C-alpha cells in the first residue's frame, strides 16, 4: 500500500491499483491493527508516550506498513502515506511532491516542511521498532540458550 485517502463514499487504498472501500479511515486502520491485538487509539497513545510526540503521530501497522499523516486526521484532505514506499519528496511552490518506490508521484497541498517533519517522525518510529525487534530476538536467544 502506498497511501490512504478519503473519498466521497469512504476511503481509497492506493497501491498498483485503486481500491475504494465504504468505511472510515480509523475503521480501516483498526482492521489492519486487529491481528496485532491493538487499535488506532491505543497505537497513537503509546506512540505519543514512547516518542514524546504531541501531534501528527505516525502509525506502525506491521513491518512493511508505517503510515504518516500529511495533516491532522480531522482534515478532510488528510492522507496517510506509507513511509516504506516513499523514496523521496520535493517542494513545488506551496505543494509537496512525494515519490514512491514505483516512481509514481503524489502531489499534496501541504508545505514541504510539514511533510519533512512527519516523515522524520516516521523514521524515528521505524528505528524504534527495528531496535525493539532486535532486542526481542536477543532476549529470546538468551532465554533459550543462555
Phi (first) and psi of residue 22, to 5 degrees: -85, 80
CA distance 70 to 63: 21
Environment class of 39 (CB within 10 Å of its CB; exposed 0-12, middle 13-18, buried 19+): middle
Closest CA to 3 of 141, 138, 91, 108: 108
CA distance 39 to 68: 16
* pLDDT tens per residue across all 146 residues of the chain: 999 999 999 999 999 999 999 999 999 999 999 999 999 999 999 999 999 999 999 999 999 999 999 999 999 999 999 999 999 999 999 899 999 999 999 999 999 999 999 999 999 999 999 987 666 555 544 555 55
Amino acid at each position: 500500500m502506498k497511501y490512504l485517502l478519503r473519498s466521497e463514499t469512504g476511503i481509497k487504498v492506493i497501491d498498483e491499483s485503486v481500491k475504494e472501500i465504504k468505511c472510515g479511515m480509523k475503521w480501516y486502520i483498526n482492521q489492519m491493527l486487529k491481528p496485532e491485538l491493538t487499535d488506532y487509539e491505543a497505537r497513537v497513545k503509546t506512540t505519543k508516550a514512547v516518542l514524546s510526540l504531541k501531534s501528527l503521530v505516525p502509525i506502525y501497522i506491521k513491518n512493511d506498513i508505517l503510515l504518516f499523516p500529511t495533516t491532522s486526521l480531522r482534515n478532510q484532505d488528510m492522507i496517510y502515506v506509507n513511509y516504506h514506499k516513499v523514496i523521496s519528496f520535493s517542494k513545488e511552490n506551496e505543494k509537496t511532491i512525494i515519490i514512491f518506490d514505483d516512481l509514481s508521484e503524489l502531489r499534496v497541498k501541504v508545505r514541504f516542511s510539514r511533510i519533512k517533519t512527519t516523515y522524520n517522525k516516521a523514521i524515528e518510529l521505524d528505528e524504534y521498532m527495528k531496535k525493539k525487534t532486535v532486542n526481542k530476538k536477543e532476549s529470546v536467544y538468551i532465554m533459550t540458550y543462555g
